[in-house]
A = this chain, B = another copy of it.
Amino acid sequence: MASSVASKTFLAAPRTDGSLGSLLPDLRRQLPSPNVQILIRSRTPKKLQVKAAGSAFGTYFRVTTFGESHGGGVGCIIDGCPPRIPLSEADMQVDLDRRRPGQSRITTPRKETDTCKIYSGVSEGVTTGTPIHVFVPNTDQRGHDYSEMSVAYRPSHADATYDMKYGVRSVQGGGRSSARETIGRVAPGAVAKKILKQFAGTEILAYVSQAHNVVLPEDVVDHEMLTLDQVESNIVRCPDPEYAEKMIAAIDAVRVRGDSVGGVVTCIVRNCPRGLGSPVFDKLEAELAKAMMSLPATKGFEVGSGFAGTFLTGSEHNDEFYTDEFGNIRTRTNRSGGIQGGISNGEIINMRIAFKPTSTIGVKNRIQ
C-alpha cells in the first residue's frame, strides 16, 4: 500500500504490510509537507489465521461430518435430502455394523457398538427435507494405549502434518485422521443408496479384490450377478471363497508378526442413472476420485480400464455402441467403466481403490 501524505487538500493512501491479518496500516516513511506534520505510530496486529473448512462434500445432497476417535462422538448433518423418503436408524445401522472395527480377528481390535441416532430432519418415519443430524457416541476411549506416541511422530501417520498445519497433535487415536470419522460418511451413504435404489434401481456394491499379495483375477467375479450376500459371506469380504481363504491366510501370517497389510477394494455401481456428472471439473469420475481419495489410507484410484488400459490402442480400447432388444443404447465392452466424457452412460461403473498398509503397527518402526 501507498505511503500517504496528509495535507490540506487531499489524503494519500497509507501503507500496510500486506499481510492477511494486518489490521492496521503502518506508515513506513514520512513524506515532507510544508502544511502538515505526520504523526506516525505503527501497531503490530495479532494475526487471525484461517485453516480452511474441509469437512463438507456435495452441493445438492451435502454432507458435513464431525468427530474424532476421542471426544463425545462422531456424526454428520445431511443437508438437502429430498423430503418424504422413509428413513429410520435401522437404514443406517446396517452399514454402520458392517463398518465397525473389531468384527473379526483380521481387523482393528477396537471395541465400539457404533449405534446411531437421528436427531432432526425425520418426522413420522419420513424425511422432512430439513437437515438430518445423525450422531454416534464414542464409547471406547483408549487414551492409555498411545503413551509412547505422545512424544514421537508415528511414521506415515498424520501426526507431523497435523502439527504443521494446526499446531495441535491430537495424539490419542489419531484424532480426526482416524478411520473413525468415516462413520459420518457411512451413515449418509446409506441414505443416498436408499434414495438411488428407490428412484432408479441403482445398486452399489464393494468387495476386496486384493489383500497383501493375493490378487483376485479380473474375470472371477461377474459384476452383473454380484450380490451383497456373496460379499458378506466371509470375514475378508471377497466374493470368491477360494481367494477369500488365501487372503485370510495372508493377513493372518502378517498380523501375528504385529505388522499390517494393504490391498485393493473394487466398487461397482449397477443401474446408475444416465447423465450424472457435470463437465468439466465436476465430471463423475473426478467427483468419485475425490470422494475415494479422501478416505484414510488411499493411494490410488482407477475407473474402467484404469492403468491397464494405457497399454491398448484406440481400436482395441473403444467400446462399440449397439441397441439392445429393448431399444436401449448399450456398449458391447465397458472399458469406459460406465462413464464417457465425464457423464454416466448407464453401464456398470467399475472402480478400484488402492489402500496402503495400515501405519499403526506393533513392530518397533520408529527408531532412528
Interface of A is mostly: loop
CA A299 – CA B58 in complex, angstroms?
A: 22
Given A53-B278, A200-B45, A281-B57, CB of A263 within 8 Å of CB of B38: no
Contact across chains for A299 and B290 when beta carbons are under 8 A apart: no
Given A300-B300, A317-B262, A345-B164, CB of A156 within 8 Å of CB of B340: yes
CA A11 – CA B339 in complex, angstroms?
A: 18
Binds B, one of A92-100, A170-178, A235-243: A170-178
Can you give 20 contacting A-B residue pairs, CB < 8 Å? A9-B366, A11-B329, A13-B169, A18-B84, A20-B51, A52-B80, A56-B64, A68-B130, A71-B122, A84-B166, A161-B277, A161-B339, A210-B310, A262-B312, A286-B290, A299-B303, A299-B306, A306-B354, A314-B358, A318-B365
For window 59-93 of A, CB contacts with B under 8 Å fall at 59-62, 64-68, 70-75, 77, 79-80, 82-84
Contact across chains for B299 and A307 when beta carbons are under 8 A apart: yes
Interface size of A as a range: 35 or more
Specify which chain B residues have a CB less than 8 angstroms from the CB of A303 in the assembled complex.
293, 299-300
Number of this chain's copies in the assembly equals 4
CA A278 – CA B64 in complex, angstroms?
A: 13
Contact across chains for B365 and A320 when beta carbons are under 8 A apart: yes
Specify which chain B residues have a CB less than 8 angstroms from the CB of A2 in the assembled complex.
151, 163-164, 169, 327-329
